[in-house]
Amino acid sequence: MNLNIMQLINQYFKGFLELVELGFIDKEVACEAVSKSNNVKYIYEFALNVKEVNIEKLEDVIIQLKNAEYIFRFAKDIEKANIEKLQEAVIKLEDPEYIYEFASDIKGANIEKLEEAIIKTKDVEFIYRFAKYVEKANIKKLEEAIIQSGDAEYIYYFAYYVDGANIEELAKANFKIGDIKFIQYLKDIINTRTINEQNYNKNKEEQVLERNLKK
């Protein structure tokens, strides 16, 4: 490897990119040098900023370096990135934050696979986030994972913030755990929902009565 190129990469990467784009450094030579730098940021920046380079080669190196953040960034920002391959890499790393980010932000991601992966991590915060923010998430499946965690705080968050959550089942789970504070919080949710349902039904009955009186 040309030592001068490696020095340029390490000491003045922006200038290196400019020289590649101007044609002063051959793109294949530059791609090889960047790949061998083992620097995930440089590999990502090179793929992002230099046109017509070997994306597959850079992608493979990013995966080999096992950096979940830059695997995710590569999938999100690099045109023609292999989403399936990068997704498998993120899953193998078992990093709950970037499994969630991948499901949330990457077009073409396999939500079901990523959902299974997030559950396997047993990270209650990102299981909860997955249920709350990821479109087409399986709420029942994620809810079961939260219940099995035995974490009273996130069971409560799940009940309060996740659309479609089974509040009664989550309340039962918190009752078994015995955390008085979160048991009371869940009781308040159930009572509020009951009052709202009663008011809704009352309003519907009044509307029907009004229509009948107008006939």
Structure tokens at 19: 């020289």
For residue 7, tell me if it sits in a domain.
yes
Neighbours of 120 (CB within 10 A): 13
Q: What is the pLDDT of residue 191?
A: 67
Tokens, residue 58: 């850079």
Contact present, 21 and 50 (Cβ < 8 Å): yes
Place of tokens 């959902």: 115
Instruction: Give the span between the Cα atoms of 113 and 174, in whole angstroms.
Output: 28
State which H helix or E strand residue 19 sits in.
Answer: helix 13-21
- Asked if residue 212 is part of any domain, the answer here is no
Does residue 22 lie within any of the structural domains? yes
> Is residue 19 situated within a structural domain?
yes
Residues 213, 120: Cα–Cα separation, whole Å: 59
What CA–CA distance (Å, rounded) separates 184 from 171?
Answer: 9
Hey, is 129 helix, strand or coil? helix
Q: What is the number of structural domains in the chain?
A: 1
Give pTM, 2 decimals.
0.82
Q: Which residue has the tokens 């001068």?
A: 4
> Tell me, what's the pLDDT at 213?
40
Whether 17 is in a domain gets the answer yes
User: What pLDDT score was predicted for residue 207?
Assistant: 41
What one-letter code names the amino acid at 149? S
pLDDT recorded at residue 10: 87
Q: Is residue 96 part of a domain?
A: no
Task: Tell me the residue range of the domain where 31 lies.
Answer: 1-54
Residue 35 falls within a domain, yes or no?
yes
Position 14 in a domain: yes
pLDDT at 160: 87
> Which residue, among 182, 173, 185, has the nearest Cα to 148 in the 3D structure?
173
Q: What is the pLDDT along the chain (215 residues), one digit of tens a residue?
A: 444 888 899 888 999 999 999 999 999 999 999 999 999 999 999 999 999 999 999 999 999 999 999 999 999 999 999 999 999 999 999 999 999 999 999 999 999 999 999 999 999 999 999 999 999 999 999 999 999 999 999 998 998 899 999 988 988 888 888 777 766 767 777 666 543 444 434 344 434 334 444 44
Asked whether 162 and 130 are in contact (CB, 8 A), the reply is no
Positive or negative, the CA dihedral 183, 188, 193, 198 is positive
Helix, strand, coil abundance in the chain, percent, nearest 5: 80, 0, 20
At residue 192, the pLDDT reads 65
Rg of the chain over Cα atoms, rounded to whole angstroms, equals 26
